[in-house]
A = this chain, B = another copy of it.
Amino acid sequence: MKPFVLIAEDEKAVAELLRYNLEREGYDTTIAPDGDEAMIQLDERVPDLVLLDWMLPKVPGIEVCRRIRSKPETANLPVIMLTARSEEGDRIRGLDTGADDYVTKPFSTTELMARVRAVLRRIRPALVEDKITVGDITVDRTTHTVSRDNRDIHLGPTEFRLLDYFIQHPGRVFSREQLLDGVWGSDVYVEARTVDVHVGRLRKALMSQGGDDPIRTVRSAGYSLKGS
């Protein structure tokens, strides 16, 4: 699953530059031109990283950052703050805003990309690493294999992506809509019920060699991978 980056930036040219470079490096992106929009998009789908402009219309960047930190599901969400050089002086350097890193405009895109990778690796190594284990389940993206209790399990492409999606945030509950966006892609249209079917198939595969059901159904909310 590609890392998903929210770009909260009102200058269209800057936002598009960021989007271009991020997608070039294999990230999925979305753009929020103001603070309100950023909060809305954060509710819709929690990204893996936020690039946050300091001067953002409606709700300033620092306030967005504060709100991100105050919500449990985004408390650890990596945030990189973008600031103009003139704003450099104050509290920004202290990072007491809760941002994980900051970059001053104008910036070199390669440097920014390096910071993005660095922050992602530090805070969410699962995205950068190619082997993730939760409980007795292991997903290896390099070899495209899944094993439980060291025994290989065959999954179809969609089931593989689904498990890969779940395992990045063990315990977290995903709605059918979130799963459709994240696993199928936000552009395709399929019935929400289809998710149920694939979760069922994933369960069947994961339990084919014994063991408990590793997926939890949360009635009228969605599904989650049982944490370790």
Interface residues of A (CB under 8 A from B): 12, 110, 142-145, 156-157, 171-173, 218-221, 224, 227
Q: Which residue of chain B has the shortest Cβ distance to A218 in the bound complex?
A: B144
Chain B residue numbers with a CB within 8 Å of A12 are 110
Say which residue of B144, B145, B219, B227 sits within 8 Å of A143 (CB atoms). B227
How many monomers of this protein are in the complex? Answer: 2
* Nearest-neighbor residue (CB-CB) of A140 within chain B: B171
Residues of chain B with a CB closer than 8 A to A172's CB: 142-143
Question: Is the Cβ of A173 less than 8 Å from the Cβ of B110?
Answer: no
The 3 closest A-B CB pairs, nearest first, are A157-B220, A144-B173, A143-B171
Q: How far is the CB of A77 from chain B (nearest CB, A)?
A: 28
Please give the distance in Å from A200's CB to the nearest CB on chain B: 20
Pick the residue among B142, B156, B224 that contacts A144 (CB under 8 A): B224
Interchain CA distance A173-B145 in the complex, whole Å: 9
* A227→B147 CA distance, assembly (Å): 15
Please determine whether B173 and A143 come into contact, CB atoms closer than 8 angstroms. yes
CB of A192, distance to nearest CB on chain B (Å): 17
**Contact partner, A142, options B143, B156, B173, Cβ 8 Å:** B173
Do A219 and B157 touch (CB < 8 A)?
Answer: yes
